[in-house]
Structure 1
Amino acid sequence: MSDTENLKAHYGPRPTKIANPGALGLFSFASTTFILSLYNVNARHITTPNVVLGMAVFCGGLAQLLAGMWEFPRGNVFGATAFTSYGAFWMSYAVILIPGFNVQGAYSTTEEFDQAVGIYLITWFVLTVMLLIGALRRNVSFIALLFFLAITFLLLAIHAWSGKVVIGQAGGGFGILTAWIAYYCGLSELLVRGESWFTLPLGGIKQERID
C-alpha cells in the first residue's frame, strides 16, 4: 500500500465540508436520459429530439459536470470521473443537435453523418464498459446502471450504423430503464440516515482487503 493509502486506512476519509453531490449528478443524468429515451421510442409520436437540448446543456451537462468537480475534493475518483465524463457527453451531444453549430451540414451525405454518430456512440459504449469494470466492487445498483447504459449506447450506435428503427427504439427502451435505475441511485444518495424516514439499499458488495 502507498503512504496515502496507509494514512487513509488509519485515519479514515479526509474530512470535508463539501456536501455529497451524488444525488445532483444522478438526478441530472437520469432526467436527461429519460427525456431523450422517450423521444427514441417515439413517445407521443415525437421524432425530433431537440427539446432535450436545454436539458443536455444545463442539467445533464453543466449540473453533472459540477457534481463531478465537487467529487474530486471529496476524494471520490470514480464519482468524479463518471459525473464529469457524462456531463461532457451531454454537452457534446447538444453541440451535435444545435443548428448553429451545423455539425450535420459539414457532411456530404446523411449516411456519412450517421456513420460518424455511430462511432461517437460506440466510443461512449467503450468508456461505459471501462467504468462498469471500475464499479464491480462498489454496489449492485451502480453495476446495473452502467451495464444497462452500456447496452443503450451499443444499441444506439448500431441503430446509427444500420438505420433500423426497431434497434433505435430498443436503445430508447434500455435508456428508460437506465434512467429509472439512476433515479433510484440518486434517491438513495439523497435519503441519508438520521435525516430521512427511511433509506434505500444500493446492494453493497463485501470487499476483501487487497494489499
Structure 2
Amino acid sequence: MNQSQTTQQVQILTADPSALGLFGLAMVTLVASSAKLGWTDGVSLVLPWAIFLGGIAQLIASLQDSKHNNTFGATAFGAFGLFWLGVGTSWLIQLGLFGKAAAAAADPKQLGVAFVGYLIFSIFMTVGAMETHKVLFIIFVLIDFLFIGLSFSTLGILPESMHKLAAISELLISICSFYGSAASVLNTHFGKVTLPVGKPFGIFK
C-alpha cells in the first residue's frame, strides 16, 4: 500500500523587539545617569528601573530576537539585560539587603573587573553593530565609553574624570536609545522611514 505523507510548515510571526529593548535601555540609563550627574541622590530608586527596564525588558527582547534567528540582537539584549540585573543585585548587597556581613565584605574593585569584562564584550559587539544601522552603532560606541569610565573610576584610576565620562556617556546612550526605539516603532507602524537610522557601513558584507 502506498502511503503519502504531507509536511506542513507553520510560521509564527513575532514583532521586532528592538523598540522594547531600546526603550528599556533608554529608561534605565536616563535614571542612572541622573544619579551620576548629581541631579538625583542614591541608587535606591534606580533599582526598579534597573530590574524591570534594564533587566527584564531587555531579556524579553532577547528572547524575541532569538525567535527571529537574530544572534546579534539576542546576544546584545540578553547580555545587557543580565548586566543590569547584576548591577542591581550588587547595589542590593551594598545596601545591606543580604546582611551587614555581605555589605561589609563587598569589594567595589570586583565590580570594576566586571566592567572591564563588559568593555571587552561591548568592543566586539561595536564591530558587529557596524552592519546593523548607524544609530545602533553610535549607541555601542557610547557604551564603550561608558564602560571605560565605569572600569577606570571603579578601579580608582582617575576616578573623578572617569566618573564624569561615564555619566555623560550614559546620558547620551539614553537619548540615542529613545530615538532608536521611536524609529523602530514609527517606521514599522507607518510602513515608511519616518525617523532615519542610517544604513549599515557595508565594510564586512
Structure 2 gaps of 5+ residues are 1-9
Q: Is the 8 A contact 2:131 2:202 kept in 1?
A: yes
Are 2:156 and 1:159 equivalent residues in the alignment? no
- Partner SS, residue 201 of structure 1: coil
Alignment-mate amino acid for residue 147 of structure 1: V
Task: Report the more deviating stretch, 97-106 or 138-147.
Answer: 97-106
Q: Is the 8 A contact 2:119 2:147 kept in 1?
A: yes
Are 2:113 and 1:119 equivalent residues in the alignment? yes
Q: CA deviation at 1:59?
A: 1.2
Structure 1 gaps of 5+ residues are 1-13, 108-112
Which residue of structure 2 lines up, in the alignment, with residue 21 of structure 1? 17
CA deviations on 1:135-190 (whole Å, 9 max, x unpaired) are: 12222111110001110111111111126233212210111011111111111101
Distance 1:140 1:35, change over 3 A: same
What percent identity do the matched residue pairs reach? Answer: 23
Distance 1:209 1:180, change over 3 A: closer
Are 2:187 and 1:192 equivalent residues in the alignment? yes
Alignment-mate amino acid for residue 82 of structure 2: A
Aligned counterpart in structure 2 of residue 182 of structure 1, from 169, 174, 177: 177
Which residue of structure 1 lines up, in the alignment, with residue 39 of structure 2? 43
Q: Is the 8 A contact 2:26 2:175 kept in 1?
A: yes
Matches within 5 A, 1:37-186: 37-44=33-40, 46=41, 48-98=42-92, 99-101=96-98, 103-107=102-106, 113-162=107-156, 164-186=159-181
Q: Is the 8 A contact 1:21 1:71 kept in 2?
A: yes
Which residue of structure 2 lines up, in the alignment, with residue 7 of structure 1? none
TM-score, reference length from structure 1: 0.82
Q: CA deviation at 1:50?
A: 2.1
- Length, aligned pairs only: 190
Q: Is the 8 A contact 1:95 1:101 kept in 2?
A: no
Which residue of structure 2 lines up, in the alignment, with residue 9 of structure 1? none
Task: Write the distance in 2 (CA, Å) between the matches of 1:148 and 1:197.
Answer: 28
Which residue of structure 1 lines up, in the alignment, with residue 27 of structure 2? 31
